[in-house]
Structure 1
């Protein structure tokens, strides 16, 4: 997994975004992991001395890697389906890349990346879900959502979990923090480990 490879190479997880000279978010974690998803050429074409939507970077918009969208997405598109959840106690505190030793909760129950279908986030845009404002109900556009019948998340240790609408907001909140000390119950319906996130039925 690209984020894990980035972490191994850099000693920490990628930051959710990096800032420009104006102290505003300029670059997304999705750009930072490009070398780890066999996109070195795209990474080298990207300019970090301008924002993600600057004159040069805008020309790269439709070169979105397929790994950043649902596998049966019709290209071209610029919208990603994989978002971080940014927040002080999540895996993505902001400009800081979290270290593995900071994760005190069970890594198999701590969410790293969430599916989203509805926010319309540009893949290069330094914008993701925000813990303080997102919807913790499963399968709403402002939260974990999908065009598959049950949306998925990736945990910090690499498992893919399929959630259902019966997954409670409390359980989702707990799974998004790194140090809450919660134990999250899994069962056959609400919190299921699946071997391949692509092998799921789409909504009608």
Structure 2
């Protein structure tokens, strides 16, 4: 919902990252959406004239919003469990920002955000999964993974989908691109809609 609200206000999705004057990624989309998850004071405290790990911004690390971690995470820490998948054909091209009308495969069929358990991305860090190098097998630290029994994704229409064990790498690739022309059913994609992404079975310890 926060990403959609950002797009409604700005006419396009947030970029996956904002580039600094040195040409390197400085800021993550997660910092850009802070005003849209009721974190206006944190957004105002964040400085965009220094990198995400600059001296001022480092002080904000312990203030990670709970929405950026799995439900029930204690202690909260600074690692996010929600990542974009960055690539020229995905919802997140990189430093450029995509408009929803570019998603010709359909918002309900295109993945916007994925769960990750193991990559260890700091919530302010401008780093996410890269389409060209990620692992398309479920529950890989370098791919879609979770502490729940079945990982989940959020599609561009804000629906949460649980990924079933028989999801294929090809189906995931197709679901991550915005204009591939694939016409797959939910069964072919290997997912099912979840009314509440928090109400799920955890993995065995």
Question: What is the TM-score normalised by the length of structure 1?
Answer: 0.98
Tell me which residue corresponds to 1:27.
Answer: 27
Equivalent residue number for residue 76 of structure 1: 76
- Per-residue CA distance 1:1-38 (angstroms, 9 max, x = gap): 10000000000000000011100000000000000000
For structure 1, which segment, 182-191 or 44-53, has the greater mean C-alpha deviation from structure 2 after superposition?
A: 182-191
Structure 2 residue aligned with 1:90: 90
Q: How much has 1:164 moved relative to structure 2?
A: 2.0
Tell which deviates more after alignment, 53-62 or 186-195.
Answer: 186-195
Q: What displacement does 1:183 show?
A: 1.4
What is the match of residue 128 of structure 1? 128
Counterpart of 2:144 in structure 1 is 144
Tell me the distance in 2 between the aligned counterparts of 1:189 and 1:148.
Answer: 19
Name the CA distance, whole Å, in 2 between partners of 1:76 and 1:202.
Answer: 18
Check whether the contact 1:164–1:189 (CA below 8 A) recurs between aligned residues.
no
Q: In the TM superposition, what is the alpha-carbon distance from 1:189 to its structure 2 partner?
A: 9.8
* Structure 2 unaligned regions, length at least 5: none
Matches within 5 A, 1:53-202: 53-187=53-187, 190-202=190-202
Kindly tell me the number of residue pairs found equivalent between the two proteins.
Answer: 204
Kept in 1, the 8 Å contact 2:25–2:126? The answer is: yes
* SS at structure 1 position matched to 2:4: helix
Q: TM-score, normalised by structure 2?
A: 0.97
Q: Which structure 2 residues correspond to residues 37-52 of structure 1 after superposition, within 5 A?
A: 37-52=37-52
Moved over 4 A (4+): none
